[in-house]
Each structure stands twice: as structure tokens, then as C-alpha cells.
Chains A and B, each alone.
Chain A
Amino acid sequence: DQQVKQNSPSLSVQEGRISILNCDYTNSMFDYFLWYKKYPAEGPTFLISISSIKDKNEDGRFTVFLNKSAKHLSLHIVPSQPGDSAVYFCAARVQGAQKLVFGQGTRLTINP
């Protein structure tokens, strides 16, 4: 049973435009949500996080939005750059535990 879902396997965006990656979750016991970025032949690297008590967190070009009532979060990248081309994983931390539950990943391609 997939508790964290990324329903779009891939997304293609033109350079300079906004990229929006989406993630849905089913477990109300998640207290933090994280986004990781993964390049080929490398491990995932942490990008940005948000607490379940917030609805927005911003870091430079990256903003994560959380809609708790819809159990939905999204990552916005503005403006998109060629170096943003990677696989993005959404992850959720189980409250009171170290465990992270990951989504399936979305491959983002930024076209020049």
C-alpha cells in the first residue's frame, strides 16, 4: 500500500518556466515532508522540507506547499534551469520515528 504517491512519472518543462511536482499522501501521522533530488549514478540529495504545521516553505528558487486537508504537497521551481533535470522524490517522516516513506519519483526534464 503506497502511502506516498507521485502520480506523474515524468514532467517536461521549458527553461525559465515554472516546474510543479506533485505528491499525495494517505497517512495523517506524517509530521514532516521532504523533497529529494537524484541525478543519474548518484544518491538522492536533500532539497527542502516542510513541517506539517506549515503550509509553505521557501528556499531560493524552490518552494514547497502543503495542503493538509487534501493530503497534498507540491514543489515549485521558479525559474527552471537545465541543472534541475533530475528525478525528484517526495518523502514523509512518520511522526515520532526516524522512518521516511518515499514516493515513486518524478523525472523532471528542463528543455532549453
Chain B
Amino acid sequence: EAQVTQNPRYLITVTGKKLTVTCSQNMNHEYMSWYRQDPGLGLRQIYYSMNVEVTDKGDVPEGYKVSRKEKRNFPLILESPSPNQTSLYFCASSLAGSLYNEQFFGPGTRLTVL
């Protein structure tokens, strides 16, 4: 089954404790992206990757890191989480050069930083 998976689905942590949210897709997509969803703000892009070893900042990259060492995986790293990073996070992927960039989303990770 074609899908994007994220782990963990739920996470409660404390300020300053490094964490990683994993994202994996099995569709051989070149493009991957991370979003955060906050009330009243919709989905905002954090980072994206056009292919292996190619990453770039989205609209809200502060406090986040990413890496793309393999095509299927795109982990999101919070080196020192803060309460303002409490949010619902989505990973998405798509084929490079797709007509309108239909992105396939993972199920989401709800993060709470205390």
C-alpha cells in the first residue's frame, strides 16, 4: 500500500530535550516536505527536500533541522524544543515534476512541549 508513515504519532516532551520525528514514504517520491498545523494558521511549511542530500527552508524553519540521506526517509529534528513548537506536524511527499504537485500526507504527529 502506497503510504507516508510518521513516528511517533503522539509525543509529550519537556523544553530542551532533543527529539526526532521520523517520516518514510514507499512511493519513490523525490519531493518531501514537513508542515505544521496550528489553529487559525493552516498548514505552514517548515522544510522541504527536492531529492537526496537536497534540502531547503520553508516558511517557518526556525528551531528545526532536517536531513535527507535516503530517498524514502526525511526525519524532522528539534534540537532544543520549546513550548511554541507544540503543534500538529505532517510529513508529505510527491513526485518531482508532477503536474500540480499533488502531495501525499502522513497521518500526523501531535507534539506537546512542556
Contact = CB atoms under 8 A, between A and B. Distances in A.
A98 B105 contact: no
Contact of A43 (B99, B102, B107): B107
Contacts of A100: 45, 101, 103
A35 B50 CA distance: 22
Interface stretch (A13-21, A45-53, A65-73, A76-84): A45-53
Interface of A is mostly: strand
Sorting the interface of chain B by its residue count into under 10, 10 to 19, 20 to 34 or 35 or more gives: 20 to 34
Contacts of B103: 46, 100
B42 A43 contact: no
Contacts of A51: 100
Nearest to B45: A99
B52 to A, nearest CB: 15
B43 A102 contact: yes
Contacts, number: 60
B48 A98 contact: yes
Interface in B36-58: 40-45, 48, 50, 58
Interface of B is mostly: strand
B94 to A, nearest CB: 7
B75 interface: no
Nearest to A51: B100
Nearest to B37: A105
A98 B4 contact: no
Nearest to A46: B102
Nearest to A6: B42
Nearest to B38: A104
A51 to B, nearest CB: 7
B106 A89 contact: no
Given A9-B40, A100-B103, 12 more contacts: A6-B42, A34-B102, A41-B108, A42-B108, A43-B4, A43-B106, A49-B100, A98-B33, A99-B48, A102-B43, A102-B44, A104-B42
B31 interface: yes
Interface string B71-114: 00000000000000000001010101001111111111000000
